[in-house]
């Protein structure tokens, strides 16, 4: 009994740590873009609702947190585990040496595309470079990359995995997003070897060593220019590492511990990127202003709709990167996340981390297959929808079709199989007459009564006793 209790405590502690890691709230002070092409791209993106995020790098071989284990901060997600963890320098050397063993021979982006498309995902954001600086694309700025002769996978004809992933998803009409980390812990012009790194920030004062900082700015600019030039049509530039920013009184917000003025000249980067990719959405996340075209609350859902475009980035498992035996959310949990986010007017960007061999955990494919079955029935209430008051009442969440007088009421189910009561009560604000009410996935005719804002939907006995609905009962209300 004691052994079981200890195992349970360890599991709960690990789950709490994984769920807590690197959580950032949405920025405040949104600035609407003025470029009509960006406005149009944003509007198109808002209609898509469901996207795929992928964190993948050399760290996936160890099954550890992405990048953060080499950061000298005393946080739960930065802990160094295993045989190399006795000293910081020993660990970092072993971590960087992962480049020489990275050989994801099971890499098959078409397999990912098929699973994501089946589940109803419409856009993808892929980590071209995380904070550790290892590049998953064929950059000319460093040899710390998957296409380097030091990396075994470089001999594979598909070694430029970013290009392969973007191309495969683009063929299936996904919008394409390039994640790029602004900090680079491998660059000698960010973590200068002359000083030990102190935390996630640059380890020298850029104002004191402006020439070195200028080299880092050029390095960052050149890498982003490569991505915007050599990798086909790009829709989103998704920038992470919000502590790399100009120093302002608000520094330190959203969990970002900003040390020094780390201005990398975002106006210059954005102008170049949009010259190469007109209409590009730029997401300088957690840095409020003109280069954060939509905000990205992480591992959370706002309680109310926001007054600007946004997406919740949330992991399918507990970790952003691949972790063996990770706990993956159930289909029911994922569906409910999607419904809740869309009811608030946002998008869900769901992360799946490939492993060191270049594939997903089989559980991830199972989850996407389950989501696809739900989407085939209920997707019309998701795509192209908008938030509509009262947004939710109890376990019922609402969306409104963008181009018609139609409201969708999603009654969430605690179990995979839906059990319907004799009557479902929904709220429809400021609607004088309801023309038709249907239950998605059922051909049974429904009767209803409208009194003020209260719509009472009667459920036939046959549907109460037996139905084929999963995860939600979704009522389509036309008025």
pLDDT in tens, 358-383: 999 999 999 999 999 999 999 999 99
Phi, psi angle pair for 426, to nearest 5°: -125, 165
Helix (H, G, I), strand (E, B) or coil at 207: coil
427: β partners: 454
Residue 69 structure tokens: 């284990």
CB within 8 Å of 441: residues ≥ 6 apart: 377, 378, 467, 468, 469, 474
225 touches 171 (CB < 8 A) = no
3-state secondary structure 337-388: HHHHHHHCCCEEEEECCCCCCCCCCHHHHHHHHHHHHHHHHHHHHCCCEECC
Mean predicted lDDT score pLDDT of the chain: 93
Query: pLDDT at position 15, please?
Result: 42
Find the range with the poorest average confidence among 25-39, 331-345, 356-370, 430-444. Answer: 25-39
Secondary structure letter of residue 26 according to DSSP = P
Query: pLDDT at position 77, please?
Result: 87
4 vs 351: which has the higher pLDDT: 351
Pairing of strands 281-284, 236-240: parallel
Give DSSP secondary structure letters for 230-272: HSS---EEEEE-TTSS---TTTTGGG----S-----HHHHHHH
Secondary structure letter of residue 432 according to DSSP = S
In the predicted structure, residue 196 carries a pLDDT above the cut 90: yes
Pairing of strands 447-451, 454-458: antiparallel
In the predicted structure, residue 247 carries a pLDDT above the cut 90: no
Closest CA to 68 of 254, 359, 320, 355: 320
Looking only at Cα atoms, what is the longest distance across the chain?
77
In the predicted structure, residue 328 carries a pLDDT above the cut 90: yes
């Amino acid at each position: 009994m004691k052994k079981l209790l200890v195992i349970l405590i360890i599991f709960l502690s690990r789950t709490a740590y994984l769920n807590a890691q690197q959580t950032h709230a949405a920025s405040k002070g949104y600035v609407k873009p003025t470029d009509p092409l960006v406005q149009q791209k944003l509007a198109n993106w808002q209609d898509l609702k469901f996207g795929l995020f992928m964190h993948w790098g050399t760290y996936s071989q160890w099954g550890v947190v992405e990048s953060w284990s080499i950061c000298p901060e005393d946080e739960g997600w930065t802990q160094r585990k295993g045989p190399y963890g006795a000293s910081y320098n020993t660990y970092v050397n072993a971590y960087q040496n992962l480049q020489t063993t990275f050989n994801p021979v099971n890499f098959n982006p078409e397999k990912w595309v098929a699973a994501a498309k089946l589940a109803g995902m419409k856009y993808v954001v892929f980590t071209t470079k995380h904070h550790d600086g290892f590049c998953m694309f064929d950059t000319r700025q460093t040899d710390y990359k998957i296409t380097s002769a030091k990396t075994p996978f470089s001999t594979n004809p598909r070694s430029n995995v970013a290009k392969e992933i973007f191309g495969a998803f683009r063929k299936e009409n996904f919008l394409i997003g390039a994640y790029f980390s602004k900090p680079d812990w491998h660059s000698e012009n960010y973590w200068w070897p002359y000083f030990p790194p102190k935390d996630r920030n640059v380890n020298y004062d850029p104002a004191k060593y402006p020439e070195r900082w200028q080299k880092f700015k050029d390095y960052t600019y050149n890498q982003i220019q490569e991505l915007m030039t050599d990798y086909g049509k790009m829709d989103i530039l998704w920038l992470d590492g919000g502590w790399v920013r100009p120093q302002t009184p608000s520094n330190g917000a959203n969990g970002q511990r900003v040390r020094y003025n780390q201005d990398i000249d975002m106006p210059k980067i954005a102008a170049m990127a949009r010259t190469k990719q007109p209409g590009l959405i730029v997401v300088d996340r957690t840095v409020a202003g003109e280069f954060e075209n939509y905000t990205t609350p992480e591992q959370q859902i706002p309680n109310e709709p926001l007054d600007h475009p946004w997406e919740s980035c949330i992991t399918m498992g507990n970790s952003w990167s691949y972790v063996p035996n990770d706990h993956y959310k159930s289909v029911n949990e994922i569906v409910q996340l999607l419904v809740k986010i869309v009811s608030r007017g946002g998008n869900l960007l769901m992360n799946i981390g490939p492993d060191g061999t270049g594939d997903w955990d089989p559980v991830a494919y199972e989850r996407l297959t389950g989501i696809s079955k739900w989407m085939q029935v209920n997707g019309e209430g998701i795509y192209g929808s908008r938030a509509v008051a009262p947004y939710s009442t109890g376990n019922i969440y609402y969306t409104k079709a963008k181009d018609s007088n139609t409201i969708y009421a999603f009654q969430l189910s605690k179990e995979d199989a839906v059990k319907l009561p004799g009557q479902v009560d929904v709220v429809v604000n400021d609607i004088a007459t309801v023309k038709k009410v249907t239950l998605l996935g059922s051909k049974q005719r429904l009767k209803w009564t409208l009194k003020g804002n209260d719509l009472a939907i009667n459920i036939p006995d046959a549907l109460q006793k037996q139905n084929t609905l999963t995860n939600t009962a979704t009522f389509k209300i036309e008025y």
